Chain A
């Protein structure tokens, strides 16, 4: 360790360059990690932040609440079975507009029971009352100039909604959520489409699942989130790029050290000749790689955290400490693995050849 550190500091210019590359690449890895989580939340935070543990959907709904529907009989059974541990949930993509403007804004309506456990926490205004014509909006709508007490209009039905509260961090499929009561939800449906079939889409359950109701299917929250359109593909693609980049960075360190150590063959030969054990020589190489990798990971982590704080809230960037830790630890581990190539080579250096006088 001591020897490793002495060499790093003596040749600091060389190793600083390596370190800078490591920092930049790991920063990129963490940036992707933040993007994965950020985009994931943009798709799923509306569901993710619910106090529900599971959802009961109609058969053949492919885990999609938007296309699910429960019959009245099924819904009745579920109500009897779960009592206050269940609450209805309707989801519909639509548009709304400010009363004063024609500009349509994307929205995902969540139709809920204002008295049930899906009622969102508001940080401004109040909750939904039992009556119709009220809406609670995700705070992203504030950026669009909608204020508490304004009236907005559902574009397809023309139903007017009074903004009674704002909530945070509620998105569904990259679109911000608007909470309305189930009654309001149905009213908008009926006004917008004469063929509208009034039916509860799904039921959210808090706590454990009980007996199965025929003709329904139950899924955990994680399963519902996984099945959200685009969620899995997006997460998989970016996660793959992230891990690939991490592995490449680790291998690059390995290659750097392989080349650097190749140039030091003479030194290693001398070390062995004066009786330095192969274990100690190997330990020196591995500690150097560990120091470079760990330090690079730590600095990149600091930079990413600073950037996360500096980015505007609307950017889909969110660092999950556990995920960051996993990728950084994996990086250090793979770096050390890739340094074993150098170790294997150095272990085979023959001291007699390296210093054997005239014969090289």
Chain B
């Protein structure tokens, strides 16, 4: 088997729900290797985003360990998390979440310190070379999401995390987006985890998991 990029074992997370504690993640294990695109499906409120936030070091689990590129990270201090997020993880959010005051290429160069030529090249690959100097407000929904994808790919992070990246797109554009993530994972040997509602893109992924009652089940 290939190198493990994301390893989550025994993850428990519960939230206070009124008086009670509601266990959203109940001893979840997930391991994703390099060159692999994994999809997580499941009903709304089942804890998919929570799982992704823990994998992305934005939320600490109540129990369990997270390892990225073989390195245990759960015990590291907050500041180290921020640095690791920048260096090791590329996020793609449901709504592009681009900064409105930066042009498309500045989202990568100014925010992440990406090289300008490399950014242009990446934009070319994703078919958005023509929008490099435009602000998000001037872009179409699909273009915005592709800029957001470029941002996730820019730092050469080994782990790509996408939370419903196709939710705001029509099915054709949604499919294109998933194809781009798949290609990045396969060609550049990255690990990608995608939360999705869209059954029609599941043929593009390598493995599918289902989140239900706090458990993650392989489909």
Contacts and interface: CB of A to CB of B under 8 A. Distances in A.
Interface of A: 2-3, 6-7, 9-11, 266-267, 270-278, 350-352, 355-359
A351 B81 CA distance: 12
Contact of A357 (B82, B94, B106, B110): B94
A18 B170 CA distance: 41
Contact of B58 (A10, A266, A273): A273
A2 B113 CA distance: 12
Contacts of B53: 352, 356
Interface of B: 44-45, 48-50, 53, 56, 58-59, 79, 82-87, 89, 91, 93-94, 97, 99-102, 106, 110-112, 135, 151, 163-164
Given A11-B101, A270-B97, A355-B93, A6 B106 contact: yes
Given A10-B100, A10-B135, A274 B49 contact: no
Contacts of B89: 275
Nearest to B87: A275
The 4 nearest A-B residue pairs measured at CB: A275-B86, A357-B49, A10-B101, A275-B85
B97 A352 contact: no
Most B-side CB within 10 Å, residue of A2, A266, A350, A352: A352
A14 to B, nearest CB: 11
Contacts of A359: 49
Contacts of B100: 10, 267
B45 A276 contact: no
B94 to A, nearest CB: 7
Given A6-B102, A7-B101, A274 B151 contact: yes
B51 to A, nearest CB: 11
Given A267-B99, A357-B163, A352 B58 contact: yes
Contacts of B135: 10
A3 B101 CA distance: 9
B86 A358 contact: no
